[in-house]
Amino acid sequence: MKRTIIFFVGIILTYMIIGNVFAESNIIPDDAIRIRVIANSNSEYDQNIKLKVKDKIEYDMYNLLKNTKSIEEARSIIKDNLSNVESSVYTTLQNENYKLPFNVNFGLNYFPKKEFKGIAYDEGYYESLVVTLGEGLGDNWWCVLFPPLCMIEAEESTDVEYTTMVKTIIDKYF
């Protein structure tokens, strides 16, 4: 009996290790729409402005897309609301007395390679909504608008951790 359990656990662990190696670089679906906010610089002030813009856009986008069922519907909603996004960014920047220009772009935009919580996200051009503040030389924040992988509860600041069903079972029973 003990050998059977050890064998079973060995198979599951092997599956998890192999599965994670292949899944980590592909956690975001190919038919996803990303969002990115790029700060003017890495100064504390510019990074704080970026976070205020991010919070406002994240909240607005969550409310616009929370009932969206398809990528086509999400694209349409985003395109139809680009002027609202621009107005929202403008108002946020005005409230912060931020004088630098900004740009809002929806389309194929470049994302550099990123590692976050042990997961590597490949560089490339992705369908995305990108807000660039000032010169756009600072660190950025990005997430997935559709499917709403990071925007599950935009009203709350929540870390989302993805795991496999096998890992959940092992953690629960072993």
Residues 107-134: tens digit of each pLDDT: 999 988 888 778 888 889 999 999 999 9
In a domain, 82, yes or no: yes
In a domain, 115, yes or no: yes
pLDDT by residue for the chain (174 residues), tens digit each?
666 555 544 555 455 544 444 444 446 777 899 999 999 999 999 999 999 999 999 999 999 998 999 999 999 999 999 999 999 999 999 999 999 999 999 999 998 888 877 888 888 999 999 999 999 999 999 988 888 776 554 444 444 444 444 455 555 555
In a domain, 20, yes or no: no
Q: How far apart are CA 158 and CA 134, in angstroms?
A: 28
What confidence score (pLDDT) does residue 153 get? 44
In a domain, 130, yes or no: yes
Q: Tokens for 21? A: 């190696």
In a domain, 10, yes or no: no
Domain range for 147 is 29-160
In a domain, 64, yes or no: yes
DSSP 27-86: -S-TT-EEEEEE-S-SSHHHHHHHHHHHHHHHHHHHHHHTT--SHHHHHHHHHHTHHHHH
In a domain, 23, yes or no: no
Output the pTM of the full model. 0.71
What confidence score (pLDDT) does residue 57 get? 95
Number of domains in the chain: 1
